[in-house]
Structure formats: structure tokens, C-alpha cells
Amino acid sequence: MTVQRAGTVLDVELAWKMDVSSLPDPATLGESPQAVFMFAVGIETNTLSFFDAVGCADNSQVEFRFSAHTLVGCFAREYITNSITPDVNGAFVIQGSITCRTYTSLRFSLYTSNRNRMGSLHWRHWLIREDGYTNPSRRDNKICYLNLSNVAIIAPIEDGLLIQDIKVQNQRAYTGSKPVIPSSLADTPCASLGIDGLMKTLNSTLGTKYDLTPSLSSLLKSYISKEYDFGTVYGYLRPIWFECDLNDIQDSLRTSEVKDQKIRREAVVDGQITEEGLRMAPRRVWDLFSNRVVPWWVALHTPWGISHAWVDKSHRTNVDTPINGHQWPVPIPEDANLDLIRIEMLNLGAEYAWLDVLCLRQEGGRNEDLRVGEWMLDVPNIGNAYVLENVVCYFNGLGRPLERGFDSDSDRSWFKRTWTLQETSENWTIGGDTGDEMLNEEVRASFESQLVSVKGATSTDGVVDWLLVLRDRTSEKDVDKVAALSYFSADDSTPAHNETRPTTSTTHDYTKIGPTSNDNPIVTGDPISTLAPAYSELESAEDAWTALVKVMLRYHRSQMLFLYHEPGPDKNAWRPSWQQAMNWDTRSFSVDSMLVSSATVLYYMETGTYSYSGWRIESVQVQGLAMPVAAPRKGHLIVETPNGEQHRYEISARHQYPVPDGVYSLLCTRLFRSNETLCVAGKMLPDQTFIKTSVFEIIGWPRNKEEWESMALSMGAKRLHTILG
């Protein structure tokens, strides 16, 4: 679509699918004070929203926001609903127009859908579900498995034990017609079968009668020379066995590999993850049929997610296993068994799964230098593995039975760990289910509580809310919390900075990875369309936080400017340090952080500076907030107008940080749905840099936007770009 300037009318169709539970009568759609954003066709509109017509799944909050693609500061002034009509499929067509500052009018048709609901907890989930992974995917082969013979996979048991001693029934055995192979066959060296034996076994397992082609023969010969076992070969060939021309099979696999490597190399630019990079498919998946970990470019199938509580190191063991090709030791609970987990996942219906200890390169492997590079992209994208399919949650530790007595309150609990926030899904099931329905209900209640907290943070989409959720979480490293936050808070409108991170760490040189290596996730180039900082495990949490703020959603930065009550670190007094953010008591807020969305804090890559784009009053007097008494504290703001008149306004501070009586410069922004005005008091340096002192609200300014702006102008306020220090 071509964006046109003022004086024209834009016609656009938005064919976005949305969950619709109820729609009010169009006649009742009057002016709504709900503040929302519409992120569409390059236009950001802060408007009386037509999404009020759509409603929410639980009808508790009449609000819907898009967070996709580019944002530009074009604020709408008026919204008109012309019609809401159902179509033959039970969906709705909402038509209307929006009047904006930059555009005379934008007419739209919004198509909603009542399709089966698969909830999206976050904008990135929505993007992946609508557009898929950045990496290509392959069609499902399940239709090809319909006429295969039944197979049985029996759990391995220790001497003296019976199969009934396995407490989780789903872990005892798998029986079905899917082409699942036993571990004994998977472990068979290809050299012992030879090319003809390999071909015969593949045909037998997959129910085909293919002839050996020169291309396939050459490929099988190379697998033998690489000392692959049958499980690895089966995992590589089954996904394309039914759809690929066997005369070109070798070239087809090579093309897929090259394409995937190129996508991953280009996903990180100068230490920042690109827009395409944030929809990245997992690097590897666990093929449950072959019992082997295979690259994404081999499987090209979306995996089920496996989420689990990490038991203490003293109760873990490192397993050397052919499942991951012995690439790294796999840390699992000492009483767990990967083969039993595989059987349970097969019984639940999965073909592929993503399990961090198997699919995310772990410490102590043969190629430790590759792990550091891979984690830059893979760790911030862990949540992507839990979006498209079901998620199996082991609350008592990976593969372990869910039994009474498991500790749900310890720091290692699934409900306390930082990473499980990304792994939270509405489409989940209990792993290790022993059939104790009373216990299961207790766990479901705890899970629903976590789901509510994640939904709450998502619904307001405020950094304040995510910080509150994260504050009580635990992690192995402090930097992990920042990486988890970047999953929810990164923007797509801010370019990356030009330096390769980390900027202050002296413990590791991330530039040592070969620039032309296929495994090198860093490329240089024009740092555009970047979204989130890459992960650096040796970086301090403070450095990682500084990098995240640069690419954070701009209104998340505004929330920190207007809501955090004291100065931050020396060079960034306008926002909290990471330590301050983690100690920030946000529960006393009565201000919805989303209401600060009209304020904009921009980051300028060229100068490394931030600026507030909005209203500023050069000189005011603040009185009554100097003593740190119980909040809310009341005081007064005295403003002298350009014509010499003095006006006195009541102000309120919801914190105890002292604001000495005196003269300040004032940044201010209007709150939607409220007659309060948020203010940041500070000092202007000679170079016109604003240094924050604290924040408060002005009580009683007009609620109406035009009246509010008129009053601000009469007080000498101006719309300016104010550099923040």
C-alpha cells in the first residue's frame, strides 16, 4: 500500500482474524474513552477505538490492540463506525473511517473471525500464528501414515522392576500405526546395514517400495562414511520421503540447509535481533519417531513444547546420549529417563518436540564456542517453540511423575522460574500425570493463576506490569531476567546500535567467532528493522538492560519516564537502573501504565541519546512534596503564565521520594480516561539536557483533549523534543 499525505482519503482493507465472543448493537457504539493503539499499515492511531465493537473473550475489558510492524506518530482524532454486518461464515465486517492529523481520513474494512480459538498471549505469538515462522515449513505427512502396521515401543525397565512400577501410565509403552522405531533400531550403525540394507529398512518402516536412485545412493553412502546410525538417517529422510523426487533428494536437503543457515546468519545484526529473527523457528527439534534431534531445516515441522521445573544440581545427572548425537551432555533429573519422556510424548500425540536440554546446545559439549554464538539468537527466542502446538508441563521436574509433596513454592518451582513465562501457553497439559485428579486440579489452579498474571501484563502491555511479574521470579543468572523481558518488551521501530555487544564486558570477546562460519549468528550490515538485543550470558544484567531499553517499545520507555519516582543511573537519570527496576514497587499504582501511551521517548542511534517528544513547561514552582511521608502526598504546583498571572494547582505523589521545594522544568502528558496529568520534574542543564528529579500528578486539569491542550498552552507549555539525561 502507498501511504499518501494529508488532503487524501486512504482506502484499506484489514483482513486480520480476531477472536470474537460478542458484538454490541451498532446503535450503542457511541464515543468510548478507551485508549487503545491500532498498529496497521504504518499508522499508529491513539483513538476512540472501533475495537470496542469487538470486545474481549471474557468481556472484562473492552480493549484490543495490535502490535505489529512499523509505528509512526500519526494520532487519530475521530473514529466513526459506519456499519457492522455478519457474513455467511459467522464472521463480522466492521467498516468505518478514522480522521487523523497526518491523513484527512482513513477508511477501512475489518474482517473478524469466530474460528476455533487458540489464544495468543503476546503480540509475537499472534504474529507467528498468523504468518508462521520466518523459516519455511513443510506440509504434514500424517496422511501418509494411515496404512502402516502397528508398532509397539516398550519402556526400558531396570532389573527387578515391573512395567507397572512406572508410575506414569503414559510412559510405560506406546502402541500405534505411526512409523515409530525402537531405540535398538535407531542405534544400529548404518555401516552394518550397507546401502541396500538402509534402503530396505527405510522402505519397510515407511511402507514404500522405492527404488534406489543415484542421488539417494550417494546420500546414503555419505551417511555411512560419517558413521551415522539408522535413527539419524531416518530422522533426516522421513520428512521428505513422501514428497521429494528421490533423484534430487541430496540437492533438496542441501538447499534447505543453506537457506536455513542464511536466515539465521541474517537474523542478528550488530548484536541485535531483526524483525524476521524474532519469528525464528527453533534451531533443532526432537524427532520422536526416530528418537533423534534433527535440525529445523530437516524437520520443517512445528514441535510440541516441553516445559519443566529444573531440579537442583545435586539431583541432576549429565547423560551422554545418541539422541542428540553425543553433541553435549544432557542434564536431567537423576531419576528421569529420556526414553520414558519420548513414550509419553508419543502417547499424547506428538511427532516432534522441543526440549531445551536436547535442542538448545548445553554447556560442556564438544563445540562450546558454537554454544555462545547460538545462544545469542536462540535464548531470546525460546518462547517461539511454545506457540504453535501443545505444551507439556512437568511441574515436578523433567520426566518425573507429578506426586504429592512436590515443592511448588521453592525457588526452583516451575511457577517461580523466569524462563517459564515464555513457555506459558493456553494450550497445555500436565506431564508426568499419575491420575491423581485432586492434585491435578490444584496444579491447574496454580497454572491458571500464572496464566492470569501473564494475560494481565499482556492486556496492558506495559513494562511496569512485566517488571512486576518478573520481580518475584528466579533464574540461574541475573541476565536471564532481562532476556526474558526482551521477549515481551522489544519493539520493531528502533534501529540497533552500531557497536557489537557487550559494551562493557571484559570477560569474553564475542567477535572471535569466524565471520564466515555457518554457525556464526552475527553479521555486519545496515542495522535496520531490528527488534531485540541478542543474548550474552557473560554480560551483566545492567548492560543487558541498557541494550534492551534502546530497542524497547517507545511507550514502555515513556512509562518509565513518567512513572518511576526517582533518578536512575548517572547517564540515564530519566529511567531506572535494572536494580531499581527490580526493586520498583508498582503494586500501589492506580494509574494504568497503558494510559501513558501517548507520551513518546525516542532513541537516536547516531548520538546515543534519548528525547521526550511532548509538552514541556520551562519553569514551575513545586511545593509540599519535600517530606517523605506516607503516600499519596499532596502538594502544590505554581505556574506563572506568559501574561504574568500565577495559577496554583493541586498535585499528588504516589511515592515517598522527596521532591525539594523549588523551581523546576516540567515534562507533562495527559492521561486518557482521567483528569490527571502526569509530570516529570527536573532541571535543564546549560546544554538543554533534562535531568529528572521525580514524578507526580496534577489533579483537576481538563479531561477533554482540546481543553487540556488549551490550558497547557496558556501555562506556557510547548511541544518540544527534550533531550533526556
DSSP assignment of 469-513, as one string? HHHT-B-SSHHHHHHHHHHHHB-SSSPPPSSPSPSS--S--GGGS
Opening angle at CA 432, ends 319 and 434, nearest 5:
140
pLDDT of residue 280: 93
pLDDT of residue 269: 84
Residue at 80: amino acid letter? I
Considering all CA atoms of the chain, what is the largest pairwise distance in Å, rounded to the nearest integer? 97
Contacts of residue 11, Cβ cutoff 8 Å, sequence gap at least 6: 107, 108
Contacts of residue 244, Cβ cutoff 8 Å, sequence gap at least 6: 252
Q: How far apart are CA 23 and CA 54, in angstroms?
A: 6
Region for residue 662 given its phi and psi (left: phi exceeds 0; alpha: psi -120 to 50; beta: otherwise): left
- Residue 484 has phi, psi (to 5 degrees) of -65, -40
Are the C-beta atoms of residues 74 and 101 closer than 8 Å to each other?
Answer: yes
459-463 own/partner pairs: CB under 8 Å, 24+ apart = 459/61, 459/63, 460/592, 460/593, 460/594, 461/65, 461/67, 461/123, 461/553, 461/594, 462/556, 462/559, 462/592, 462/593, 462/594, 462/596, 463/489, 463/552, 463/553, 463/556, 463/557, 463/559, 463/560, 463/593
pLDDT of residue 587: 63
Are the C-beta atoms of residues 186 and 205 closer than 8 Å to each other?
Answer: no
Residue 49's nearest CA partner among 73, 81, 17, 24 is: 81
680-686 own/partner pairs: CB under 8 Å, 24+ apart = 680/561, 680/562, 680/574, 681/620, 681/622, 682/573, 684/618, 685/725
Are the C-beta atoms of residues 649 and 636 closer than 8 Å to each other?
Answer: yes
Specify the DSSP element, H or E, that contains 442. Answer: helix 437-460
Q: What percent of the chain has pLDDT over 70?
A: 74
pLDDT of residue 478: 85
In Å, what is the CA distance from 523 to each residue of 98, 273, 343, 526, 543?
41, 11, 40, 10, 21
Contacts of residue 343, Cβ cutoff 8 Å, sequence gap at least 6: 153, 155, 170, 171, 172, 173, 174
- Residue 316 has phi, psi (to 5 degrees) of -110, 155
Identify any residues that bridge with 292 across adjacent strands, giving them in sequence order. 287
- DSSP-derived secondary structure for 579-631: HHHHT---TT--S-GGGGTT-EEEEETTTTEEEEEEEEEEEEEEES--S--SS
Residue at 298: amino acid letter? V
Are the C-beta atoms of residues 488 and 231 closer than 8 Å to each other?
Answer: no
Residue 341's nearest CA partner among 326, 327, 358 is: 358
pLDDT of residue 596: 62
**Count of all residues that appear for the chain in the document:** 725
Opening angle at CA 130, ends 125 and 135, nearest 5:
85
pLDDT of residue 43: 28
**Cell 553479521 found at:** 523
Residue 720's nearest CA partner among 688, 696, 681 is: 688
Q: Where are the domains of the chain?
A: 9-117, 151-460, 553-725
Q: Where are the beta strands (DSSP E) in 503-573?
A: 530-533
Q: How far apart are CA 247 and CA 212, in angstroms?
A: 9
Q: Are strands 633-640 and 609-623 parallel, antiparallel or unpaired?
A: antiparallel
Helical H segments across 226-271, by residue range: 230-241, 249-265
Q: Where are the beta strands (DSSP E) in 6-75?
A: 9-14, 35-40, 43-48
Are the C-beta atoms of residues 547 and 494 closer than 8 Å to each other?
Answer: no
In Å, what is the CA distance from 37 to each residue of 53, 596, 713?
14, 12, 26
Q: How far apart are CA 472 and CA 455, in angstroms?
A: 17
Q: How far apart are CA 645 and CA 532, in angstroms?
A: 48
Are the C-beta atoms of residues 624 and 637 closer than 8 Å to each other?
Answer: no
Are the C-beta atoms of residues 687 and 673 closer than 8 Å to each other?
Answer: no
pLDDT of residue 470: 87
Question: Cell numbers of 636, please?
Answer: 502544590
Q: How far apart are CA 644 and CA 623, in angstroms?
A: 19
Residue 394's nearest CA partner among 417, 362, 361 is: 417
Are the C-beta atoms of residues 474 and 417 closer than 8 Å to each other?
Answer: yes
For the chain, residues with pLDDT lower than 70 are 1-121, 456, 458-461, 491-531, 587-598, 672-675
The number of CA neighbours under 13 Å toward the Cβ of 334 is 6
Q: How far apart are CA 362 and CA 245, in angstroms?
A: 36
Residue at 522: amino acid letter? I
How many other C-beta atoms lie within 10 A of the C-beta of residue 133?
20
Residue at 663: amino acid letter? V
pLDDT of residue 485: 86
Q: What is the pLDDT of residues 602-626, one digit of tens each?
A: 999 889 999 999 999 999 999 999 9
442-449 own/partner pairs: CB under 8 Å, 24+ apart = 443/395, 443/402, 443/408, 446/408, 446/415, 447/393, 447/415
Q: How far apart are CA 620 and CA 663, in angstroms?
A: 6
Region for residue 413 given its phi and psi (left: phi exceeds 0; alpha: psi -120 to 50; beta: otherwise): beta
